[in-house]
Amino acid sequence: MPIPTPLPDLQLHLVPAGRRLEFTTKAGCFAFVYRRCQQEDWQCVACNARSPFLDMAVLPPGAAPQYVVRYHNAAGAPLGATAMVQSHPVAMPVRTSWINL
């Protein structure tokens, strides 16, 4: 199995509604967004995701989620992955709020 090569195109922005991820997806590629908190197992939070992707999940205080986007072709073979990005827990809202949109 080929080892996915890192692609440095993932950006994380903290917004009032949650965490917004921006990434590029080339033609023929499908993006899968993965998240983990506190060194737990990676969890797929979006299949065939489009950018920008908004993660509005309510996370425990101090969770400091990490994200990575993995790319696959139409047959499901891995093509590559972005570098991991992490949110600093101090800057994160405790819960999402529709009022601040």
- For residue 93 the two structure tokens come to 């809202």
Residue 1 has pLDDT above 50, yes or no: no
Q: Which residue has the higher pLDDT, 51 or 93?
A: 51
* Mean predicted confidence (pLDDT) in 7-22: 86
Q: Please report, for the chain, the start and end positions of each structural domain, with discontinuous segments joined by +.
A: 6-70+83-91
Query: By C-alpha distance, which of 101, 15, 91 is closest to 52?
Result: 15
For range 30-50, the mean pLDDT: 93
pLDDT at 9 over 90: no
| pTM of model > 0.95 | no
**Highest mean pLDDT: which of 5-9, 46-50, 61-65?**
46-50
Quick one: pLDDT band at residue 67, thresholds 50, 70, 90?
A: very high
* Neighbouring C-beta atoms of residue 42, cutoff 10 Å: 13
CA dihedral 82, 84, 90, 92 (to 10 degrees): 40
> Which stretches does DSSP call E strand in 16-77?
18-22, 30-36, 43-46, 53-55, 66-72
Average pLDDT over residues 28-43: 92
Coil, strand or helix: which one is 86? strand
% of the chain residues with pLDDT over 70:
79
Q: How confident is the model at residue 28 (pLDDT cuts 50, 70, 90)?
A: confident
CA-closest candidate to residue 29, choices 66, 57, 67, 70? 70
